Structure 1
Amino acid sequence: MTTEDGIEKIIGRFGKYQTWILFLISIGRLPTEFQLNIVVFLLPGVEYECQDSAVNITNHCPCEHPKYDQSTIVSSVVTEWNLICDRVYLASLAQSIMQIGILAGSLVFGQISDRYGRKLAVLLSLFLEAAFVAISGLVPEFWMFLVCRFLIGTAVGGTMLCGYVLFIEFCGKSFRPYVIGLHEISFIVGYFILPIIAFYVREWRTLQLVTSVPWLAVISYYWLIPESPRWLITVGKKNEAITLLKLIAKKNNKTTENIESIVEEMEKETMRESKKPASYVDLFKTPKIRFYTVITAFIWMFCSHTFFGVNQYIGRLQGNIYLNVMLSAVSLIPGLIIVVFATLHLKRKVSIVTSFSIAGLSLLVFIFIPNNIEALTLTFAIIGLIGAYTSFVQVYLFTSEVFPTIIRNTALGFASMFGRFGGFIAPFVVNLGIEWASILIFSGVAFAAASLCYLLPETKDIILLNSIEQTEGPKNAITEIKNNETNIDKTTK
């Protein structure tokens, strides 16, 4: 097997055209980034006076006639449908139901992406995301809002999964460490902008419309975003791939010579497996792929549980909710820079295990900090969030490198499905009512994820594999490539 990345050889590691694709996906994904963090404004913890008797009692249950504190948030899902006392579980359900939607979306859009193309999956998920969020801001009943939250989740699952895979397949092997940083720009931007928007738009229905309706314009991406050339090659659409690669090469000021021969060589490597569409059954047919599938599923579940749990917990800390969320967003910037540096210079497993360990340790320290020291509690909560976030970012890259192109989206979709189980449970853990128990659970699963990472192969600097056969061969292709590269280095010396 060649140690050269054919796509990188043709269009370069990262040029003008890839920058354009990154810009479009980042802008289109903003409603997704908003919805991943908006729960602290839609379903916040609320203060109220119970006016059932002559003497008003603060936060008393049961309460039929609450008067809510509107000094911070004028209206929310909690206050509109009185999700307090014996209905508080509905607030947790409204938070968690989106995770189930993301689970379904990861499965559905993962299959669409591998069977019908990355472009279709990205376009559908981006448009439906904006549409479902807008509809959720108009529904008159709580059960309708729950349905919308589920549908929002399905689109979120598609945008998170398919947008990432489309972008990474346009980039060369040597640029992948930077991809995880660039792709996360939209998350941090959305995370930072959201509390600013929420500060001026304090009614939840208007907030949903403001953060969705303008993005219905992503329908225009049909004419702006191309198909993944890697996917075209794996499904036998060689001529389309050649035409697209010539166009991109010209825009990136690269030569268009030998494109046909390079594509033909790439096609030969996947010819035997690319004629049949990928399915989730393929994840369990062969021993190595089956083992990788099970391990990554649990890693994703533990990672998602920690990240979404800590993220929601920060919204409940004392202090200004808008400032706390903004500080959380800003704090992720240095974390992302560290991730890129670690991805460039450290082994994948070393950097991921370190991130998980930082999350687990900081949360353990958090348990022993008195609640009245607001600055210190926020600091360690944010450190835990950074550890969980950087783990999540790296797990996307790690998983995409472990699995071959023919089932890459399917594998990410399956792993993401388990991630949603972790995210679904997180709000209920946050609402346990025993703070130290909640934090201890989040810390424990972070350490469990770190341990499981040791069971996967090291993937730093490998070429993205195309077929299951390459992974399952007598000698794992990942190891083979690394040995070949070592021999080349020795020869040059």
Structure 2
Amino acid sequence: MTKVKNPKLQNPIEKQFNIISRYHYYFYFLIFSSKIPIFWHVLSLIFLSPPMDYYCNETDVATVNLTKNVCPCVEPFWDRSVFTETMQTKYGIYCDRTWLISFAQSMMYVGLLIGALVFGFLSDRYGRLSMFTMSCLVLGVSGSLVSAMPSAAAHILIRSIEGIGTGGAIITSYVLCIEYSGVRYREIVTALFHIPLNIGHLTLPGISYLLRHCDEFQLAISIPVFFYVGMRWMVMESPKWLMDNENIDETVVAMEKFASFTRIPKENIRQQIEEYHAIHSTKSQREIKIWHLFYHKTLISNFIYMSVIYFLCGMGYYGVSQYIGQMSGNIHVNVALSGALLVPGTIASIYLIQLLNRRTFLMSTIFLSGVFMIVTICIPLRYNWIRVFIACICNCFFFVSFIIVFLLGVELFPTSIRNSVLGILSVMSRVGQIVAPLINALPENISGVVFGVLALVGTFFCYLLPETKDIELPSSLDDTKVLSRRKSHLVEDLELNQNIATSSSQQ
């Protein structure tokens, strides 16, 4: 007689991770702290190539600046009162070579795109933790080499490799955090994951203020990354990845270490994992490919809407961050203020994301980011500090939008294709980052209009998305149909209740 198995047997790993343990605090501290030096590299070009004035010869400095920043200019004399050495002064970038600045940042974002794709794929094959440490090694080595590059071309090439390491570190660390989080804490961990990014944004101007030479600055933000290469021996691989890839013995070892660290019973861990794995084999899910996305109207619609929103969030946040760095005034104060305003916005999102509907929250943040950007360019230039402050608020709303779309990307798509879809959406965000420097190369008010108008357009795509709050994560393609029907069902229920109320009043 065949024994009937319980198909609703709870995942033993999820069961343990639904409680925040001492190991979680230790693990999250290491992962979260790694985001600070990693994120420094994303915004570093703000201080590697800040706005620099020059004169055509040294005698012009004493004049009324009539010849400042004019072209052509054979022998420029740079104003080094704020920065002693930058990308412009080191490689002679001025006049018809200024396009190299925006091109360098775009190539950095191309590296981010490649890194997210390559390390995302490799982490599915070889493990989250090993690829995280590998990406940190690539980032640390390439970031250190940037300071030794003899030409602008070599600088841009190594910066692209630096971007590959940065993109890989970002995506692998996020996956690690989510896979170590139970369902109860997924929202909170997603929001808290962005706090170190705020700290990185806030502290980067301080490093630049202390180190005004671009090579010293680049080394200072690159050397700390080497510490996190050692995390391979400091934390454990994701047990969820181990189990899904048939590494049952390694899964048991990891969970037994976790149990020893948290002082919980570990006698039945192997039995529970083997029983659960035998019943819930993921072989059929792994055989489903990404192109199955195009077989379902609901999935492809949601994918298109999310692609546009990811693009706008990437373009908006990184673009406005650079926009603030280029505004008149003290660059260190401007960027630090922008980073400081992100902290309360991120903390507020921890609570708001649990209170508000996903779609409503996302629509509000993207709409307000567009409104504040339009307001910024309408303020006269003589009130520059007000313009900077309003632009920083705009940047805060763009950043909070990022937090929501991270969670929406997890909740909209079924388990079988979730990682693949998130990888493609991450690419769309990187494309937005690549476009951002090109927009900032336009005159200040025009680039502000572009950022603001595109954000307002993005509000429409947010409205087209289904609501996912308080709904279990879809585990199959058919489960996603519930999301598309939810809005129509709510409308039908509302109309039915109104009809019943009308009939009762008439009676």
Normalization by structure 1: what TM-score?
A: 0.89
1:420/1:450 CA distance change after superposition, 3 Å: same
What residue in structure 1 maps to residue 442 of structure 2?
A: 432
Following superposition, the deviation at residue 6 of structure 1 comes to 5.1
Q: Check conservation: 1:11, 1:254, Cα contact below 8 A.
A: no
1:375 aligns with 2:381: no
**Is contact 1:12–1:254 with CA below 8 Å preserved after alignment?**
no
1:21-420 aligned within 5 A: 21-51=27-57, 57-256=67-266, 259=269, 260-261=271-272, 264-265=275-276, 268-276=279-287, 280-281=290-291, 283-284=293-294, 287-420=297-430
Q: Structure 1 pair 283/127, CA: closer, same or farther in 2 (3 Å)?
A: farther
Q: Distance in 1 between matches of 2:201 and 2:139?
A: 17
State the distance in 2 between where 1:358 and 1:44 align: 28
C-alpha distance in 2 between matches for 1:332 and 1:154: 25
Corresponding letter in the other structure for 1:165: V
Aligned equivalent of 1:489: none
Give the paired residue count: 476
Aligned equivalent of 2:495? none
Q: Does the 8 Å contact 1:49/1:58 carry over to 2?
A: yes
Give the CA deviation at 1:233: 2.8
Q: Residue 77 of structure 2: SS of its match in structure 1? A: strand
Aligned-residue offset at 1:223: 1.0
Q: Structure 1 pair 89/269, CA: closer, same or farther in 2 (3 Å)? A: same
Q: C-alpha offsets along residues 213-255 of structure 1, whole Å, 9 cap, x if unaligned?
A: 2322322111123222222232233343233223323433444
Any gaps of 5 or more consecutive residues in structure 2?
A: 1-6, 490-507
Larger radius of gyration: 2
Which consecutive unaligned segments of at least 5 residues does structure 1 have? 484-493
User: Could you tell me whether the CA contact under 8 Å between 1:5 and 1:463 is conserved in 2?
Assistant: no
SS in structure 2 of the partner of residue 458 of structure 1 = coil
User: Aligned pair in 2 of structure 1 residues 57, 263: CA closer, same or farther (>3 Å)?
Assistant: farther
Partner amino acid for 1:119? L
Distance in structure 1 (CA, Å) of the matches to 2:12 and 2:473: 10
Distance in 2 of aligned mates of 1:405 and 1:57: 62
Larger displacement relative to structure 2 (3-12 or 337-346):
3-12
The Cα shift of 1:82 comes to: 2.2
Structure 1 moving runs of 4+ over 6 Å: 52-56, 477-480
Is contact 1:462–1:478 with CA below 8 Å preserved after alignment?
no
Contact 2:37 2:224 in 1 (8 A): no
Change (3 A) 1:449 1:477: closer
Q: Which deviates more, 184-193 or 33-42?
A: 184-193
Q: Distance in 2 between matches of 1:252 and 1:449?
A: 45
Question: Quick one: which of 463, 466, 483 aligns to 1:454?
Answer: 463
Residues 116, 167 of structure 2: 8 Å contact kept: yes
Alpha-carbon distance, 1:454 to partner: 3.1
State the distance in 2 between where 1:348 and 1:149 align.
Answer: 36
Read off the aligned partner of 1:50 and give its amino acid letter. C
Supply the distance in 2 between the matched residues of 1:206 and 1:462 (Cα, whole angstroms).
50
State the TM-score, normalizing by the size of structure 2: 0.87
Tell me what 2:499 maps to.
Answer: none
Amino acid at match of 2:48: L
Distance 1:193 1:279, change over 3 A: farther
Deviation of 1:39 (Å): 1.4
Shift of 1:395: 1.4
